[in-house]
Amino acid sequence: TDVKKIAVIAGDGIGPEVVAEAERVLKRTEEVFGYRFETEHALFGGIAIDEKGTPLPEETLSVCKSADAVLLGAVGGPKWDNNSKELRPETGLLGIRKALGLFSNLRPAVVFDCLKDASTLKPEVLEGTDLMVVRELTGGIYFGEKFRREGSQGEEAVDTCVYNVTEVERIVRQAFEIAQGRRKKLASVDKANVLETSRLWREVVNRVAPEYPDVEVEHVLVDNCAMQLLRRPASFDVIVTENMFGDILSDEAAMLTGSIGMLASASLGEGSFGLYEPVHGSAPDIAGQGLANPIATILSVALMFRTTFGYAEGADAIEAAVSEVLNAGHRTSDIAVDKSKAISTTEMGDLIVAAI
Amino acid sequence: TDVKKIAVIAGDGIGPEVVAEAERVLKRTEEVFGYRFETEHALFGGIAIDEKGTPLPEETLSVCKSADAVLLGAVGGPKWDNNSKELRPETGLLGIRKALGLFSNLRPAVVFDCLKDASTLKPEVLEGTDLMVVRELTGGIYFGEKFRREGSQGEEAVDTCVYNVTEVERIVRQAFEIAQGRRKKLASVDKANVLETSRLWREVVNRVAPEYPDVEVEHVLVDNCAMQLLRRPASFDVIVTENMFGDILSDEAAMLTGSIGMLASASLGEGSFGLYEPVHGSAPDIAGQGLANPIATILSVALMFRTTFGYAEGADAIEAAVSEVLNAGHRTSDIAVDKSKAISTTEMGDLIVAAI
Ligand SMILES: CC(C)[C@H](C(=O)O)[C@@H](O)C(=O)O
Ligand SMILES: CC(C)[C@H](C(=O)O)[C@@H](O)C(=O)O
C-alpha cells in the first residue's frame, strides 16, 4: 500500500493526551491491516502562540497542505482568552479552515447505548437518535467584513454575513449526497423569514432538490429547529445549515445525545482531504492528569479512514474495538458512573489498541 | 381609577380564540378589582394582509401608539408563507417592534409543576428551572442592511449585523435591573471569539457591571449556552443577548421547560409601554376548533398588569386562578395526558374567570 501522510496537531489542554492514544491506534492498524502512515507533528493554537508568536504558523499550514489528512486534538484555553484577536487560538482555527478550503463540517450526533443515561433527555425521547449536522464552514458572518465605526449613537460594530450561490450550492449538494447514503431525509435550516442570505440559501435548496428525488427535504427555521431538536431528535437525519446556525445547533445536538465526549467530526473541502477532530474542547481544567477520554479522537481516526482513505476495514475495526471496550464496562472518569472505577486515558488507549 | 387603554390584536390562527378568553379575564378583573380598561381591536398580520393589503396598517400602528399596552394573540400561517417580503406577517412583526421602539423582549421560561412530565428533559435536571431570556429586539442582523448583488462567484446575498453602544447599553442595563429583582445572576451570551458586534457587546457588559455589584455576571459563548441550557437549565437566572441569538436560545429555553403552551412574553421600550403575547405561535392546524390553550395569553395579561400598569394584586389573582384550575386537574388537549378528558378553550376560560 501507498504511504498516507497525516499532519498531527496535538494542540492545547487535553489535546496532546488524546492525540497520543489516537496515534497508537494508527500504529496498531499498520500492524493489523498493513496500512502505512507517515505522521508529521505541527504546532497550532495556544502552544503555537507561545512558541511561535502566532496561532497558525506558516510551517503548520505547509505540513497540513502536503498531508492527505489532518488529525487535530483541541485548541484554546483561558491562558489566551484575553489576547488580542491575532493572538487567539480561535483565529488560528478560522485561518486553517479558510486556508485549507474546508467548507464543510460534518458533526454526527449519535447516542452511545452505554451512555444513554448520561443525557439530560429522557431515554424514550432519545431512542434512535442518529443525526448529522452538515455545517457550512468558510462563509457567512464568520468571514464577512467586520469593523468599528463612529455612528450617531456612539461607537458601533459591524459584522457582515455574505453567501454566494456557489458556496451554498456545494454544501447543499454534499448534504443531499450524505442524506442519500443515510435515511434520505434532509432538514435545511435557515431564517428565511428575516435574512436575505437565508432566502438565497432556500432558493438554492429548492433548485437542486429535484436532482435528489429520493431525498425528502424540509425547510426548518432556526428557532424552530432549536426546539425540534429537543422535542423529536430521532426524527432528524441530515441537517444542513450555514456557519453560525451550524455552530449553535451542532453543539445543541451533540449535547442532547449525552455522548459529547465520544463524538468525532470531519471538516472537508473539495476532494478527499479532510481535517478530523473530536467535538469536545481542550478541557484545560483536566489537562495533564490522565483523566481525558481519548475515544472521540480515536473515532476521528476511524472517520478519517472511512472518509479520506477509503479504509473501511480499518474504520470498522476501530469502531468495533471501541464498542467492545465500552461493552466490557470500561470507562474514563467523564463517562464513569462509579468514578472510583474509572480508568486513565492511556489505559483506555491500551484496551482499544488491544481490541483491534 | 384611571382608564387604561389596551390595543387588542387578535391576529391569525388560534389568535382570536385565545385573545377572546384573555379579554374575559380583563373584564373579570374590572369587576373584582375596580380596574377600568378601554380595549380597541386592530388588524395585524395575515388577516391585515387579506383585508388591508399590508401586515401592519397605519390605523393599527396608531391604535397601538395611543394605547398604554398592546395584547397580541399570534400571527402568521401557511397561507401567507410564500408571499413576497412586504406581504408577510413576519414583516409586520418586525415593523411593529421597530415602530413602537420595543427594544427588549422578555421571555420567561419556567416549569409548571403540573407539566413537568411534558418536558423531554429528565425531571431531576429540570428541577428548579426558572430563567428569563432578555433578548435585544430592534437591532442586529434583523434590521441591518440586506441586499443581493452580483459577485465573482454568482449572485450573492448580504445581511448586515450592526450594534451601537447605546443600543447595547440600554438592554444590558435592563437585564442587570431584572437580575437584581430575581436571583442576581446574569449570563451575557455572545460570540466574542468571532464577531465584532459581540466584542462590543462584551465591552459594554464589562463596563457597566461594576454599577451592579450585587449581580454575578458570566460571559457565555452562544454555542456553549445552547449546550448549557440542556445540561444545567436550573443554574441560569437572567440571560441577556442580541436579537438573533435571543431568538434561538429563547425558543430552546421555552421548549425545554415543557411548558411552551403556557409561557407569556413582554416586549418593552422606554417607559412603561409594552406589548404582551404568548410565546407559542398561531397553530393554524388547530385554529377554530376550540382546542387552543388560552393560558399563555391569559398569563400575558398578568404580565401586562405587573409590568405596565403596576397592578400587582390583579396579576397575582390571575396567576393564582390559573394555578388553581390546573391543580384541580383541568387541561386543554395540548397539555392533557388523557385527551378524552380535555376541555375546550372557552371552558378553560370559564374556569379561570370563575376562579378570579
Ligand atoms: C472556537 C470557535 C471559533 C469555533 C467556531 O465557532 O467555529 C468552535 O466553536 C467550533 O464550533 O469549532
Ligand atoms: C416570526 C419571526 C420574525 C420572529 C423573530 O424571529 O423574531 C419570531 O420567531 C419571534 O421570535 O418572535
Question: Could you tell me which residues come within 8 angstroms of residue A350 by beta carbon, excluding any fewer than 6 positions away?
Answer: none
Are domains B1-102+269-356 and B104-262 of this chain identical in fold? yes
Closest CA to B12 of B47, B54, B43, B39: B47
pLDDT, residue B1, reads 65
Residue type, A32: V
**Catalytic residue list contains A52:** no
Rg (CA), chain A: 20
Q: Which of B125, B157, B224 sits opposite A200 (nearest CB)?
A: B157
In whole angstroms, how far apart are CA A264 and each of A84, A288, B200?
A: 30, 21, 33
**Catalytic residue list contains A223:** yes
Q: Between vectors from CA A165 to CA A163 and to CA A168, what angle results, nearest 5°?
A: 70
CATH 3.40.50.300 fits B104-262, yes or no: no
Residue B288: Cβ-neighbour burial (10 angstroms; 0-12, 13-18, 19+): exposed
**Ligand with smallest separation from the Cα of A250:** 1
Q: Residue A149: closest CA among chain B residues belongs to which residue?
A: B164
What pLDDT, in 10s, does the model give residues B287-341? 999 999 999 999 999 999 999 999 999 999 999 999 999 999 999 999 888 889 9
Instruction: Kindly state whether B109 is in contact with chain A, defined as any CB-CB distance less than 8 angstroms.
Output: no
Phi then psi for A154, rounded to 5 degrees?
95, -175
Grid coordinates representing B42? Answer: 386592530
Domain locations in chain A as residue ranges: 1-102+269-356, 104-267
Q: Which of A142, A151, A256 sits opposite B164 (nearest CB)?
A: A151
In the predicted structure, residue A148 carries a pLDDT above the cut 80? yes
What pLDDT, in 10s, does the model give residues A81-97? 889 999 999 999 999 99
Q: Which CATH number fits domain A104-267: 3.40.50.1970, 3.40.718.10, 3.30.300.30, 1.10.3720.10?
A: 3.40.718.10
Instruction: Kindly state whether A121 is in contact with chain B, defined as any CB-CB distance less than 8 angstroms.
Output: yes
- Rounded mean pLDDT, A315-343: 94
Distance CA B67, CA B308 (A): 11
Contact assignment for B248 to A222 by CB distance below 8 Å: yes
Question: Could you tell me which residues come within 8 angstroms of residue A237 by beta carbon, excluding any fewer than 6 positions away?
Answer: A130, A131, A132, A179, A182, A183, A184, A185, A186, A187
- In the reported structure, the alpha carbon of residue B230 is separated from the centroid of ligand 2 by a whole-number distance in angstroms of 22
Hey, CA dihedral for A219, A225, A230, A236, is it positive or negative? Answer: positive
Residue B256 distance to chain A (closest CA, Å) = 7
DSSP result, A109-128: EE--GGGGGGSSB-HHHHTT
For a substitution probing ligand 1, which of A96, A159, A247 has the most ligand atoms within 8 Å of its CB? A247
Helix (H, G, I), strand (E, B) or coil at A1: coil
Residue A53: Cβ-neighbour burial (10 angstroms; 0-12, 13-18, 19+): exposed
Chain position carrying cell 435548496 = A205
Distance CA B244, CA A311 (A): 42
Question: Which residue ranges of A are tagged as binding site for Mg(2+)?
Answer: 223, 247, 251
CATH number for region A1-102+269-356? 3.40.718.10
Instruction: Kindly state whether A163 is in contact with chain B, defined as any CB-CB distance less than 8 angstroms.
Output: yes
What pLDDT, in 10s, does the model give residues A18-52? 999 999 999 999 999 999 999 999 999 999 999 99
Q: Does ligand 2 lie within 6 Å of residue B247's CB atom? A: yes
- Rounded mean pLDDT, B47-67: 98
Nearest C-alpha to atom 7 of ligand 2 is from which residue?
B247
pLDDT, residue A118, reads 86
Cβ pair B184, B238 in contact under 8 A: no
